[in-house]
Chains A and B, each alone.
Chain A
Amino acid sequence: MPETLEDLAEREYEHGFVTEIETERIPKGLSEEIVRIISSKKDEPEWLLEWRLKALARFQQMLARGQHPSWAQVSYPEIDFQDMYYYAAPKPKKQLESLDEVDPELLATYDKLGIPLAEQKRLAGVAVDAVFDSVSVATTYKEELAKQGILFGSFSDAVKQHPELVRKYLGSVVPYSDNFFAALNSAVFSDGSFAYIPAGVRCPMELSTYFRINAQETGQFERTLIVAEEGSYVSYLEGCTAPMRDENQLHAAVVELVALDDAEIKYSTVQNWYPGDKNGKGGIYNFVTKRGACRGRRSKISWTQVETGSAITWKYPSCLLQGDESVGEFYSVALTNNMQQADTGTKMIHLGKNTKSTIISKGISAGRGQQSYRGLVRIGPRAEGARNYSQCDSLLLGDRCGAHTFPYLEVKNASSTVEHEATTSKIGEDQLFYCRQRGLSEEDAISMIVNGFCKEVLRELPMEFAVEAQKLLDISLEGSVG
């Protein structure tokens, strides 16, 4: 039994189907012309096109200088940025007046993913923006939310309907020059979600975006922007899946959050992109920049992520704690099985006084999975009384996988408190045997031990998604026992 712990069996990825739908694509490759085409498809204002072109120039400069980030503990062949499509959209049959006019193929796709969009079947208490390849295809509960002044919908619509808000905040947290993949995203982003919560409003339902990559050889570059005005609250969730394909596909998203005085944003991710097969063929390259700015006093941003998919995950949801007494949190479960690689963590940048941050990271490796926690805690010179607590735990299943921890601390204010704890443990044969002696199967025992290990993070997720995440962990571990 013990030596078979790591013997991997075929594992099922249940979202691996392809939707047969007529897709409109622009030519392959990356150039000024491509960026202009994307911008004109979206009927964008001149300022946005200019912003894209500046980003493109910056990206091309970094590419020419060989500034593709190489510091992460992941390995993959060089990406040919000219050999992929930057825009793919299901061909609309006509201008949509309501959800009922959405292509039935698309509705069926989301039904199959467990995200019903049709009026009568909608998820209760969750508003969903469905992004399919490069475009948002539907948003539910839009009108109900609008009654309270909450704006929620596709990024493209926001550019048309609320250009002043988009212009004010776009790139204000993650500038186009921020990093290699953020520059690429800023040049070619096609859609994403936009949410705006007015002052004093507590958003009455979960807002959610469901990202689906469908088209072949196509990258997905979405952009999410959430602004919470003074004293508002919003809980937002994103989910993602993709078909099983033999080639690798690039997903390079940017998420920006802005929380003003006393505002709170809770951002949860359940990431289940196709991870590739057990030999490492195919899968999504997930290079994502997520950052939230706690601009206001006593504002709070909380990131919770459950990362089970992707061939490669490279993401560090971060908080800029600018407002005094603002709070940043990062709760993460990352699971790598088979040949998956993940380099993930967070950055907590303490700028304001008495700012507080908490980092709880749980990494699970099985098969030949490799993963790293990489976290930066920076306490600025003016961050009097700042506090950080970090805890990074790794759990190994079998002995061919690996876990690594790279904590970086920069403390420039002596009145601050920074604590860091890290543990690495193997699922003990003693633990497994104990469970089996009590009548539990080995698979059930592992699932129980892993869920126990992740509990501190899973309980941060909204209820219905915690259940989903737990199931996902079980599925992702399937076959990790011989």
Chain B
Amino acid sequence: MLEIKNLHARAGDALILKGIDLSIGAGEVHAIMGPNGSGKSTLAGVLSGRPSFEVTEGSVLYRGEDLLAMEPEDRARAGIFQAFQYPVEIPGVTNNYFLKASLNAIRTARGEDELDAMDFLSVVREKMKIVEMPKDLMGRSINEGFSGGEKKRNEVLQMLLLEPSFMVLDETDSGLDIDALRVVANGVNHLRSPERSMLVITHYQRLLDYIVPDVVHVLSEGRIVRSGGKELALELEEKGYGWIEGAAAP
């Protein structure tokens, strides 16, 4: 599904990713853990095409295609989805309107018919139940005045609607209490299938109790310094990042 080779990227003058190699197969869930500043969010941004990051070296193939050559909207239309750590507010644009426009843009790209307002409503209602989303959030401006938990639910709601093939969850657990975490994870798990892959970025092992990964990678100073099974996350939780960083030093 996704082949990352020797990926180097910078933000401004700072080189942040210093040679990432990562291969994610169809149906796999990979977790990326690591301390602040290790490059987790940069990796997410590079994959979704955020313009503030510049790739200086390396390649990313998505289903055999050069992902880095694609515009952000084309990546989205090809099935790449990023659940943002800090979803933005767009005043005056209702969530309902935005989600419908987004879904129809993606459907058009897939060669499917656009949904009219009624069909959209029935689809979105069904998905809202999964993430226990209050109804009134659909009529409000995107993310404006949403609580932290509501913003993250809204991200997962969009993910459920758009049914992407490759998902990047950028610290989706940050700022969530345990109940919200369960709801959000439940939404994400709904999408797990042999055809879909995920990259779950998190600080804490906690999320991985709910979204159980196939592989865990530890990122430190722009490189993957260790990979292992889900038990690596538990070990990391116990021993702290210092353990890995110490071990990675020559």
A452 to B141, CA, bound (A): 9
Which residues of A (434-464) have their CB < 8 Å from a CB of B? 434-442, 444, 448-449, 451-456
Chain A residues in 8 Å Cβ range of B87: 434
Whether A2 sits at the interface, judged by CB under 8 Å, is: yes
Chain A residues in 8 Å Cβ range of B121: none
Q: Can you name the residue of chain B whose Cβ is closest to the Cβ of A459?
A: B92
Taking a contact as CB atoms under 8 Å apart, the answer to whether B76 and A452 are in contact is: no
Taking a contact as CB atoms under 8 Å apart, the answer to whether A439 and B76 are in contact is: yes
Whether A92 sits at the interface, judged by CB under 8 Å, is: no
Chain A residues in 8 Å Cβ range of B98: 435, 438, 448
Chain B residues in 8 Å Cβ range of A437: 48-49, 72-73, 75-76, 81-82, 84
Whether B118 sits at the interface, judged by CB under 8 Å, is: no
- Closest chain-A Cβ to B66's Cβ sits at a distance in Å of 18
Chain B residues in 8 Å Cβ range of A438: 76, 98, 102, 105-106, 158, 162
Taking a contact as CB atoms under 8 Å apart, the answer to whether A439 and B105 are in contact is: yes
Chain B residues in 8 Å Cβ range of A444: 101, 105
Which residues of B (162-210) have their CB < 8 Å from a CB of A? 162
Interface 9-mer from A109-117, A182-190, A424-432: A424-432
- Closest chain-B Cβ to A11's Cβ sits at a distance in Å of 22
Q: Mark B140-171, 1 if CB is under 8 A from A, else 0.
A: 01000000000000000010001000000000
Whether A51 sits at the interface, judged by CB under 8 Å, is: no
Whether A406 sits at the interface, judged by CB under 8 Å, is: no
Q: A438-B102, A438-B158, A438-B162 are in contact. Are A452 and B72 (CB under 8 A)?
A: no
Q: Can you name the residue of chain A whose Cβ is closest to the Cβ of B77?
A: A439
- Closest chain-B Cβ to A233's Cβ sits at a distance in Å of 28
**Interface size bracket, B side:** 20 to 34
Chain B residues in 8 Å Cβ range of A433: 50-51, 72
Chain B residues in 8 Å Cβ range of A442: 73
Our pick among A434, A441, A453 for the contact of B92 (Cβ within 8 Å) is: A453
Which residues of B (74-118) have their CB < 8 Å from a CB of A? 75-77, 81-82, 84, 87-88, 90-93, 97-98, 101-102, 105-106, 109
Which residues of A (1-25) have their CB < 8 Å from a CB of B? 1-2
- Contacts A429-B52, A437-B48, A438-B106 aside, 11 further interface pairs with beta carbons under 8 A come to A428-B88, A433-B50, A435-B90, A436-B72, A438-B105, A440-B102, A442-B73, A449-B93, A452-B92, A453-B91, A453-B92
B interface residues (Cβ-Cβ under 8 A, vs A): 48-52, 71-73, 75-77, 81-82, 84, 87-88, 90-93, 97-98, 101-102, 105-106, 109, 141, 158, 162
